[in-house]
Amino acid sequence: MNFSSVLHTHNSLLSPNGAEVILGRMMLPGELATPVAPSAVEMFGPRAVCLISENGPLWVADTGHHRLLGWRNLPTQDSQPADWVIGQPDFHSEGQNANDKVGRRTLSVPTGICRCGEGMAVADAWNHRVLIWKQVPEDSNVAADLVLGQVNFSDNEPNQGKQEAAANSLYWCYGVFYHQGRLFVADTGNRRVLIWRKLPEENGQPADLVLGQPNMTSRNENGGGSPSASSMRWCHDITFWGENLVVTDAGNNRVMIWEGMPTENNTPCAVVLGQKSFDVVEMNQGVYFPSASSLSMPYGVDAVGDWLLVADTANSRLLGWQKPESILSLHGAAADAIAGQNNFTSKGENWDFGQPKRDSLNWCYGIKVCGNTAVVADSGNNRVLLWRMG
């Protein structure tokens, strides 16, 4: 992500040379697209990444193959094969829940991944659950220790088979994040974010707080009313920018930011990015081409220092905002930096709808930063980019 050369800005966040390492199968010049076959190298629509420490391990949610891929150390070569796999019996198998019954080692559309304490959490979206390992796995098919959203490891119905949501149920949970002892889950199908004040210790443990809905049983789009500062439509990823909670609300084409940590259910956010007001939610603010202040289905988000990085997925670009003295001044603000496009008004996949380049993007779903490395889930290109910070 070359914020200095791709954008007319003096702020350079990542190396101008493009990604230092590209994981996934590299297409040769002039090569035609071929079916994506699972292997220790090839991925299909990866949506989430987690670099546990600056030197590794690295875990990737290889979403389309219903598995996690793990590298023992930070990869140093293009197309470096993974060392571990979780969710499939081997590197060449695929299928939801490994074409078998749901269990401690199976996955169906994993879309979120994060470190939590000494362990790791994964949003296992189409099993409507979050899996937690008490220690970060360092082998293939390590069994999860804990499950949220279901009462056991063998169930996988949305909202546990009930019409209403509950404090202990999930429906298409796409994102997971851990911060200062709290666990956050983007419970996307229930249009809400659930918060556990402490890392759960029991299967099916209920959440303590809900954002996006007036209570724990409601699940209506935008809280059953018009879009507002407290409602959500398609929340996907979560981070903290300093002391401020940030949630991507992809369905409302915006990013929601709270002043500090919410302490009550349905607390409204303080500002939004991507829209001019809380009640407007159109893609790119109702026009075809994007701008520096518009968004189209933003899925991924992370913060590093004074910068907030947003994966503006449907525009195939990354946007960066620099933190002002007052977070309130950011309401509807234009981004300060861009990557993946030549300018703020372009949105072509891989710039010109051509083959992937080291600094191009195609429906990027995830962005996470650890130490000096930004890791991007470049889903439409079936690859993960490791980009050095500038």
Task: Give the span between the Cα atoms of 249 and 318, in whole angstroms.
Answer: 16
As a whole number, mean pLDDT of residues 159-171 equals 98
Q: Is the pLDDT of residue 14 over 80?
A: no
The answer as to CATH 2.120.10.30 being correct for domain 21-388 is yes
Q: Is the pLDDT of residue 33 over 90?
A: no
Query: Over the stretch 323-348, which tens digit does the pLDDT of each residue have?
Result: 999 999 999 999 999 988 989 999 99
Strand spans (E) along 242-370 = 244-249, 254-257, 271-273, 298-304, 307-312, 317-322, 337-339, 364-370
User: Which residue in 346, 338, 332, 339 sits closest to 294, CA to CA?
Assistant: 332
Above 90 in pLDDT, residue 166? Answer: yes
258-268 in b/e form (b: 16+ CB < 10 A) is beeebeebbbe
Measured distance CA(294)–CA(309) in Å, rounded: 14
Give the ranges where 14-165 is alpha helix by DSSP (H): none
Domain spans, the chain: 21-388
Q: Are 290 and 315 in contact (CB under 8 A)?
A: yes
Phi, psi for residue 224 in degrees, rounded to 5: 85, 5
Q: Quick one: tokens of 23? A: 């994981």
| Rounded distance between C-alpha atoms, residue 119 and residue 102, angstroms | 22
pLDDT at 8 > cutoff 50: no
- Placement of tokens 């620099």 in the chain: 322
> Is the pLDDT score of 2 beyond 70?
no
Beta-ladder partners of 384: 23, 377
Q: What is the mean pLDDT of residues 271-281?
A: 98
Q: What is the pLDDT of residues 290-334, one digit of tens each?
A: 999 999 999 999 999 999 999 999 999 999 999 999 999 999 999
Q: Are 378 and 5 a contacting pair, CB within 8 Å?
A: no
Closest by CA to 321, choosing from 331, 307, 332, is: 307
Enter the pTM of the model.
0.96
> Mean pLDDT throughout 90-97?
98
How much of the chain, in percent, has pLDDT values that exceed 70? 95
Residue corresponding to tokens 């954002």: 211
Q: Of the spans 6-10, 261-265, 356-360, which averages the highest pLDDT?
A: 261-265
The proportion of the chain whose per-residue pLDDT surpasses 90, expressed as a percent, equals 89
pLDDT averaged over every residue in the chain: 94
Which neighbouring-strand residues pair with 59? 50, 70
